[in-house]
Amino acid sequence: MKILFIGDIAGRAGRDALEKHLPTVKEQYKPDVIIVNVDNAAGGYGVTEKVAQEIYGMGAHCLTTGDHVWDKREIVGYIERDKNMIRAANFPAGAFGRGTWEHVLPNGKKILIVHLIGRVFMPPLDCPFVALDNILKNYTLGKNVHAIFVDMHAEATSEKMAIAHFVDGRVSAVVGTHTHIPTNDAHILAGGTAYQTDAGMTGDYDSVIGMKKDMAVYKMMKKMPTEKLSPAEGEGTVCGTFIETDDSTGLAKSIIPIKIGGILGR
């Protein structure tokens, strides 16, 4: 199975970059499934129904979110209706939405997407290790599912790595999001799980993690209250990860980081 994952969309610059470059990426890699993280897609904070529909229109099959999932009030009702958008599986019981997405391709192959949020330097949620382990009790690679992809939305690199080693051989891939910086460590673990600490941001990298740099620098220097940070508006880079799996085992055959457009894709 060919899986394309696009890192955190950061505002309009990220959406414009995705619209411009996704056709090229699709033509080159011919993915079976396209997953897009939309945690910062609407004005840099969360996602709206309108923005979600815009990204589906570009070709996304599943949208993952993150710690900003509830920033736009309207999403609370929308996420209940949209079966292709998921919030983290380790939110407490009773949270709106769902933490997994199961999809059957036209050829009959099945993929499971799991979304998690870390707890190190992040708002406290239920344990992501326990949540993931409980989910995987119902799925076995190569038997009742052909691929399992995990979006691990976390601040700490160590926590992302620990999750990956915890499920090495039980999932096809673990790819990190949230820090908005693409890491140069894409590889396949000993048990056959593809891993990258962070897929990176899809947005304007002439910024501070996607936000206008002047205000971000001022806020850090002066430690004074400022206006809310807003997304940078220059040319965006599409960052993501492409994973190909073995349908018979569900394990990874290859993992390729993607950077196209903007200042990182030159």
pLDDT digits (tens, 9 = 90+) for 177-224: 999 999 999 999 999 999 999 999 999 999 999 999 999 999 999 988
For 95, the domain range is 2-260
Structural domain contains residue 46: yes
**Which pLDDT score, from 0 to 100, does residue 226 have?**
80
Structural domain contains residue 266: no
For the stretch 15-54, pLDDT in tens is 999 999 999 999 999 999 999 999 999 999 999 999 999 9
Coil/strand/helix, residue 2? strand
Structural domain contains residue 194: yes
Residue 246 pLDDT > 90: yes
Structural domain contains residue 63: yes
Q: What is the CATH number of the domain that holds 246?
A: 3.60.21.10
Structural domain contains residue 265: no
Residue 264 to residue 239: CA distance in whole angstroms: 9
Active site residue 68: yes
Residue 185 to residue 119: CA distance in whole angstroms: 22
Structural domain contains residue 47: yes
Q: Which is catalytic among the residues 61, 68, 115, 178?
A: 68
Structural domain contains residue 255: yes
Q: How many helices (H) and strands (E) does the chain have?
A: 6, 12
Domain count, the chain: 1
